[in-house]
Amino acid sequence: MSRMIQKPFFVFNPKSYLFGEELLALAKVADELVATKDIRMFITVPYGDIDRISRNTKHVIVTAQHISGIKPGRGMGQVLADSLYEAGARATFLNHAENPLTLSELINSMERAKELGMTTIVCADSVKEAQTIASLTPDIILCEPTELIGTGKTSDDSYITTTNEAVKSINEDILVMQAAGISTAEDVYRTMSLGADGTGCTSGIVAAENPEQMLRDMVDAVLEGVEGIK
């Protein structure tokens, strides 16, 4: 693996809802939280904002929303991992439902990330897909039924526990993220208390009346959920 990521962790995934100064303001809040709490924080950043967020934060893990499996050279319109790494990205999402990859594309992109030392967060829809991806040894697998993304409806208990166990049975060092439909701090607490290593959120934060407070509440819920299973 590119590096060992400690748990628990939280992924703030603004997708294309936030950019520029508005995103930077929340990134600084996230940076402050990581500096004062025992949690790791990934922020998925639009390509054009990676340098800005990286230069203005110290503790969050700046994360590309995707990389292509190409090396420097030809590849017009592709996403060059080397360029994003130089801009400050230290992790990447891969195979998200909004940007799915074939198996060969996924393998190539993972290899490029590993060559650069970037943490890989790879998305899986089903238990079988999670098991297949686990054999490729990503750092983190996001187990998230596609049909629940953005619905506010979370995965049921059996999906969470089954996918957790399926991944760990193949490689116990892979961290499991469960984040389907997360929209409240209560959802975060429940997910973590069921044994996830981390979780994350998009619309529950960006659409909140007070996104900064929601981010703070969700981070606290991660820690409370972990404490609740000790």
Residue 14 pairs with which residues in a beta bridge?
Answer: none
Helix axes 20-36, 211-228, angle to 10 degrees: 30
Residues noted as catalytic: 96, 144
Q: How far apart are CA 64 and CA 47, in angstroms?
A: 7
Beta carbons within 10 angstroms of residue 69's beta carbon: 20
Place of tokens 């969050």: 60
Sign for the CA dihedral angle at 199, 25, 82, 78 comes to: positive
Q: How far apart are CA 41 and CA 30, in angstroms?
A: 7
What are the backbone dihedrals phi and psi of residue 112, each rounded to the nearest 5 degrees, phi first? -65, -40
Helices and strands, number each (H, E), in the chain: 9, 8
User: Helix, strand, or coil here: 53?
Assistant: helix
Residue at 97: amino acid letter: A
